[in-house]
Structure 1
Amino acid sequence: MYNLEKEIYLGNSKNVYNKSEGISIIETEYQNKVYEGWHSHENAHITLFLKGGTIEKRKKENFSVSPGTVLFYHSDELHLNQNTLFPSKNINIEISKNHLNEFDITEELLKIGTANTVKTKLLILKIYNECLIGDAFSKDSIHMLFTDLASNKNYLDQFSKCPNWVYPLYELLNDCWNENPSLNELSKILNINPISISKHFPKYFGCTLGEYVRRLKINRSLTLIQKPSASLTEISFECGFADQSHFIRTFKQQTGFLPKKFQNL
């Protein structure tokens, strides 16, 4: 059992970006078997699993990890990984203790913010894309994106004090993610005035109806697009987009990447 220092991971850390600014983005690949014992990391971090998979064990819970999984790690939190698939690839967003203190963010608040896995996943991809762009605006953009990621403090409690139609709407939208329900259609199903949905939707979902549905569609497409035989036309249709051009535009808007570039990551 051992503790890994900042920006060090068990796999091959291919690239480390933005490390002088309190937020490090570490691109890690796993081509061969690595240490499978208990270990921890000096800093808190969020990991997006892009390729491969693993079984992750912690003291009180286990995770079956596959492409698209997002996990939060407290600093010094013990965990181990077994049955890793090769090749695997992760993007790790690591935050120093000083940076968290400077922005008055606790690890627990950051964990709560990342519980919105769809939004977190898309923001991590935007942060990663800014690293690859690496121009004069990238550092500020990364900090803004991270602030957005950490600001969703009440996501886990969003349904605890809300009208009784909000959670059924959440379930309905997540169940019909590949469809394009209109506000009037949703209001009829839920038996609620469309004006009420329109007025209160941003308060409970953090964005407009259209933005929320687009996030769901692109989130599902991330898994489909990794398949070797994936056709953008087929994915566009399966995810409920009007055509391939609409899918490509929306994918770029939500992740920062063009679909073909994301396939080659």
Structure 2
Amino acid sequence: MQQLEKESYLGNTRNKLINNQGVSIIETEYKQKVSENWHSHQNAHITLFLKGGTIEKRKNEIHSVTSGSILFYHSDELHLNQNTLFPSRNINIEFDEAFIKNFEITEETLKNATANATKTKLLILKIYQESLLKDSFSDDSISMLLSSYAENKNYLEQFSKCPSWVKLLYDLLNDCWFENISLKDLSKTLNINPISISKHFPRYFGCTYGEYMRRLKVDRSISLIQKSSDSLTDISLACGFSDQSHFIRTFKQETGFLPKNFKKL
């Protein structure tokens, strides 16, 4: 078993930024085979798999990881990786004890926050984009984005206590993410007054209906951009956008990147 010190990963480090809130943003790349033995990391972290993939094994879990996947790691959590595709590239957001103390949270609440996978993924990309800019505003911008992430800690608890129609709505939207369903249609399907949906939607989903659906579409486009040879026009239509310009504007707003620049990562 190998324990990796803070900010250390088996792959090659491409970029690293240490934030003043006790967070490190580290981009790693895998171009050749690395150790497939059990190992752990000193600090808790979240990994967004940008490109490639792997089979990751943990004590009681096996994850088939592809482009766009997100995994949370507790500090000292044992895992191993096999059948890694080359090249693979990851973004790691690492939290030390200072961050956990400052935000008055635990590693478990950090893990729970990743249950809101779409929001977490888009926030990681914005944090990563700020780390690449590295200007005088980046550190404060990253801190603000991390505050938004920390607010997700009660995401699972909120959904466990919500009315049954909210859970049905969540499943419906995530199953039909590529469609442009109107509030009127949702009301008919759920047999819920549209005013009630409008009133309670931000409370349980953390944003407006339109914002949520656009985020789902951008989320689905991420893996297509990295893995597919399709044009941006084809990807935008496949993800339910009205045209390429709408897709480009929305993708930039939600991730901080233009799609063509994201494809080059």
TM over 0.5: yes
Determine helix, strand or coil for the equivalent of 1:72. Answer: strand
Which residue does the alignment assign to 2:123? 123
Corresponding letter in the other structure for 2:175: D
Q: Deviations over 1:38-88 (max 9, x none)?
A: 111111100000011111111111111100010000111111111111100
- RMSD of aligned residue pairs (Cα, Å): 1.1
Distance in 2 (CA, whole Å) between partners of 1:23 and 1:164 is 37
Deviating beyond 6 angstroms after TM superposition, the runs of 4 or more aligned structure 1 residues are none
| C-alpha contact 2:20 2:139 (8 A) present in aligned 1 | no
Q: Deviations over 1:143-178 (max 9, x none)?
A: 111111121122223332222211111111111111
How do residues 154-165 of structure 1 correspond to structure 2 at under 5 angstroms? 154-165=154-165
Distance in 2 (CA, whole Å) between partners of 1:260 and 1:11 is 25
Aligned-pair CA distance for 1:235: 1.0
Which residue does the alignment assign to 2:31? 31
Determine helix, strand or coil for the equivalent of 1:158. Answer: helix
| C-alpha contact 2:103 2:150 (8 A) present in aligned 1 | no
Normalised to the residue count of structure 1, the TM-score between the two structures is 0.97
| C-alpha contact 1:114 1:150 (8 A) present in aligned 2 | no
- The count of corresponding residues between Structure 1 and Structure 2 is 265
Which residue does the alignment assign to 1:91? 91
How do residues 77-226 of structure 1 correspond to structure 2 at under 5 angstroms? 77-226=77-226
Aligned-pair CA distance for 1:196: 0.3
Normalised to the residue count of structure 2, the TM-score between the two structures is 0.97
Identical aligned pairs, as a percentage?
71
Which residue does the alignment assign to 1:241? 241
Aligned-pair CA distance for 1:103: 2.0
Aligned-pair CA distance for 1:220: 0.4
Distance in 1 (CA, whole Å) between partners of 2:157 and 2:105 is 18
Distance in 1 (CA, whole Å) between partners of 2:255 and 2:178 is 18
Q: Deviations over 1:218-254 (max 9, x none)?
A: 0000011113422111111111111110000000000
Determine helix, strand or coil for the equivalent of 1:9. Answer: coil
Corresponding letter in the other structure for 1:15: N
Which residue does the alignment assign to 1:57? 57
Which residue does the alignment assign to 2:66? 66
